Amino acid sequence: MAIQTGWEGRFYEDFVVGDIYRCRLGRTVTENDNIWFTLLTCNTNQIHFNTVYGKQTEFGQCLINSGLTLAIVAGLGVADVSENGFNLGWDNVTLPNPVYAGDTLYSESEVLEKRESKSKPQWGIIKVHTRGYKQDGTLVVQYTRNVMVWKRAHAPQRDLFPEVKSAT
């Protein structure tokens, strides 16, 4: 029986300007996710955790913390965009529509630019425009980011699976 490797993310050579990568997963945001994230980040805005307060706002309910929305949409795109690299910067983050508990988020990223690093020949830099949508197709977050990505030949060894001992 042959062992097949799973998806290992894109390397610099795999990115093509104009391509759009849609994450195959969606992520439903729960009230607990929102409360935990809000408390973890010391956010004291009651719109995120006080139902009575939320009902008195124009939204009629609590909102999902925008930092959580951004984090989930970015996380959904890691396998396609930054699994083999790291972020250099984020620009133009906008949150045009609210997210509520029970909404499911989806992520897509479009490759805008690609260039080799001038100072680190083992890396390339890509620029992507990421959009996050909820289940009805409403845009809830968008941003651009630059990502430093390994060139395939220089990437660290990733065969981290332990040697399996026979069960006796």
Domains of the chain: 12-154 (3.10.129.10)
Place of tokens 């083992």: 122
Nearest to 13 by CA among 61, 63, 85, 67: 85
Contact between residue 159 and residue 152 where contact means Cβ atoms under 8 Å apart: no
Please give the DSSP secondary-structure letter assigned to residue 154.
G
Determine if residue 49 is left, alpha or beta; phi over 0 gives left, psi from -120 to 50 gives alpha, anything else beta.
alpha
Question: Closest Cα partner for 70 from 10, 130, 147?
Answer: 130
- What's the angle, vertex CA 131, arms to CA 55 and CA 71, rounded to 5? 65
Q: How far apart are the first and last CA of the chain?
A: 20
pLDDT on residue 168: 63
Token readout for 62 is 């609590």
**Tens of pLDDT, residue by residue, the chain (168 residues):** 787 777 788 999 999 999 999 999 999 999 999 999 999 999 999 999 999 999 999 999 999 999 999 999 999 999 999 999 999 999 999 999 999 999 999 999 999 999 999 999 999 999 999 999 999 999 999 999 999 999 998 888 777 778 888 776
3-state secondary structure of 55: helix
Whole-number pLDDT of residue 69: 98
